[in-house]
Structure 1
Amino acid sequence: MIKWGILGLGNIAKKFASDLKLVPTAALHAVASRDLSKANEFANENNASKTYGTYQQLFEDKEVIVIYIATPHNNHAELSIQAMTHGKHVLCEKPIGVNEKEVRAMVAASKNNKVFLMEGLWSRFNPTIKKVKNLINKKEIGSLNYMYADFAFYGLDREEDGRLLNPSMAGGSLLDIGIYPVFLAYLFLGKPETILAKSNFHSTGVEIQTSIIFQYKNAQAVLYSGLNSTTQTIAEFSGSEGSIIIPSRWHVAQGYELKKGNESSFVSMPRNGLGFTYEIEEVHQCILKNKTESELWNHQNSIDLAQLLDSIRKEVGIIFPFEE
């Protein structure tokens, strides 16, 4: 049994804890929040054995093997490094770091302390996305020449001091949800030769709408994220001999549509739980094999993704106050 700790107890942590119950080899041992009453409530709802009112107490719990960090983006690097310094394995919610510098520091901490570190990009381990990648690698639709992916919802009704609209918490659409389309383009096409991007901004200073084109030698990826409207949230891959579409919402996919000529077929692949079980199982397998990184989403992948996000931010002018 691998005992988990969860640090940062918001909505994403609640979903993660729900799926943790579906993994037979996992147990939620401890949770931590700066608000002890919040920690107690979360522990009661999710059958955690211990609650802590400070993060340090969780780091010092000798029974905790791995910690899931689900705080706002701006705290990811500092808390992950502290956890790893205490010998804990870490699964850190995406983006693993706000920029490349932070990610490299986290990777160094993983190697120096000989502990596992992975970015919580759960979509990478989704069975549908793994299957579609396998089909495209086998040239099922010929050469991949175009892909499209979007992710947007209306979030302008949120509190302006909350994580989504607060620049001091690395808010905005790009790092929160735009990371998904960017990740998908990177997964299927690699790093682009050039990047074009344009953004619109909120009165608080955060970016709330970004359109991106990744230019490759023989392909293009058109990507979008936004907080001022709701989009379909689909992913499309078009090749010389057909296309594959992952319907809404593609990042938690449960099947795909294959189109070749005049024929079309949908393959249903129902997921287990909300979709976190697959990355949890990957973490377990890596820890049991004494790995410091996953082969499916390794440290270099996270560094590459951070570099792409940094490049987009530079193109459109996204700078957070704590980076200046």
Structure 2
Amino acid sequence: MTLPLDPRTAPPLRWGILAPGGIAAVFADAINHHTRAQLVAVGSRNRDRAERFATHHGIPTTHSSYRALVEDPQVEAVYVASPHSAHLEHALLAIKAGKHVLVEKSLARSAAEVEEMVSAARTAGVFLMEAMWTRFLPHVAAVRGVIERGEIGEVVTVIADHGQNMNHLPLEHRLHNPALAGGALLDLGVYPVSFAHDLLGTPDRIHATGSLSSTGVDGQVSISLGYGERAQASLNTTLWSRTATTAVIAGTKGRIEIDTDFYRPTSFRVIGLDGTWWSFDREIDGGFQFQAAEVARCVAEGLTESPRMTWDNSLEVMRTMDEVRRQIGLVYPGE
């Protein structure tokens, strides 16, 4: 099986971080500890926050506006870590400044917003990618290898879930705020949806049921995707419970069981119909370094999109999620 290259072998790249929150801290640690890239600047509308983040992660330059960050000549690539409601605005800001851009998943709130981002990146000739880090992890590459070799036969069923107990968060938190495109789907549900797309492609049938929270975001969603005559995916996401966060890929000759958390670096077992099995287990620190390395390699090669996470991939995932939202009656303010 072909596993991802060591992220330290990727060319160096100078990063600027836009919106230094919790997810940005994870990204910064991965850059600093597992790549040859540099964190050269961070931008926040709150100068104190930017300075604290810069001090903690050894970043030499802080900016008190996003525009100043993207216009910083030191910065080659911008990591957009703001809430989903601002992804389009901030991605366009960076693209128009001529920077390469990695945008936290989900890439945007809707397919229409993704199309606008892609059009801008294409016109500017810069790299743009959704930060769906799962696609670049070693165990996912190994899973795809198992399937491509035919070890489990024809894939007929994919089951995946991602639920986290967010009941402790205050109601003003972004996950509970419709204006910030909160809810389970864009933050958590994108993982199983993107996983199903990665393995089975674009579905031709989508059925969804969901429950909205007291603040008007999606608290829980169950999704069934259909592919041709046989293949199906059963997916679930919730803000109200910590679920198993595992995945199963079942085929006509066997199955793959991916341990918790399926979307993070983890292990899996390949089990044949006769009960024989083997396991994959490769412990690694972090995980975000693999997507950062992908950006660096693509930029060095002059690519504007990743072959592993193409613009069409992100657009197809978002179209599925648009239809899910339509079926459960979820509309974000301003749509």
In structure 2, do the counterparts of structure 1 residues 24 and 213 end up closer, same or farther at CA, with 3 Å as the change threshold? closer
Deviations 1:37-58 (CA, angstroms, capped at 9, x unpaired)? 0000000000001001110110
Question: In the alignment, which residue of structure 1 is the partner of 2:89?
Answer: 78
State the partner residue of 1:138: 149
Which residue number corresponds to residue 166 of structure 1? 177
Counterpart of 2:50 in structure 1 is 39
The aligned counterpart of 1:292 is 304
- Within a 5 Å distance, the mapping from 1:57-68 to structure 2 comes to 57-68=68-79
Following superposition, the deviation at residue 25 of structure 1 comes to: 2.3
CA-CA distance at 1:265 after TM superposition? 2.2
Cα deviations by residue, 1:216-238 (Å, 9 ceiling, x for unpaired): 22111100000111100001001
CA deviations on 1:276-302 (whole Å, 9 max, x unpaired) are: 010010000000011100000011111
* Secondary structure at the counterpart of residue 208 of structure 1: strand
1:194 aligns with 2:205: yes
Confirm whether residue 279 of structure 1 aligns to residue 298 of structure 2: no
Partner of 1:318: 330
1:101-250 equivalence runs, <5 A = 101-217=112-228, 218-250=230-262
Shift of 1:156: 2.1
Counterpart position of 2:9:
none
Pairs aligned (count): 322
C-alpha separation in 1, matches of 2:200 and 2:302: 30
Secondary structure of the corresponding residue to residue 263 of structure 2: helix
With 101-110 and 17-26 compared, the bigger mean Cα shift is at 17-26
CA contact (8 A) 1:165 1:172 kept: yes
2:278 to 265, 278, 281: 265
**Deviates further, 154-163 or 28-37:** 154-163
State the match for 1:252 in structure 2: 264
Tell me by how many angstroms 1:274 deviates. Answer: 1.5
Counterpart position of 2:25: 14
Whether the 8 Å CA contact 1:28–1:48 is kept in 2: the answer is yes
Distance 1:258 1:117 in 2: 35
Query: Offset of 1:254 from its aligned partner?
Result: 2.2
Distance 1:146 1:154 in 2: 27
Aligned residues of 1:237 and 1:245 also touching (Cα < 8 A): yes
Normalising to structure 2: TM-score of the pair?
Answer: 0.95
Partners in 2 of 1:190 and 1:292 — Cα distance?
22
Q: Does 1:301 align with 2:313?
A: yes
Superposition CA RMSD, Å: 0.9
Distance 2:266 2:159 in 1: 18
State percent identity of aligned pairs.
36
Counterpart of 1:91 in 2: which secondary structure? strand
SS of the aligned residue for 1:158 comes to coil
Contact 1:247 1:253 in 2 (8 A): no
State the shift of 1:27 in Å. 0.4
Alignment partners' CA distance in 1, 2:48 and 2:130: 28
Partner-residue secondary structure (3-state), 1:119:
strand
Kept in 1: contact 2:35–2:293 (CA 8 A): no
Match of 2:61 among 50, 64, 78: 50
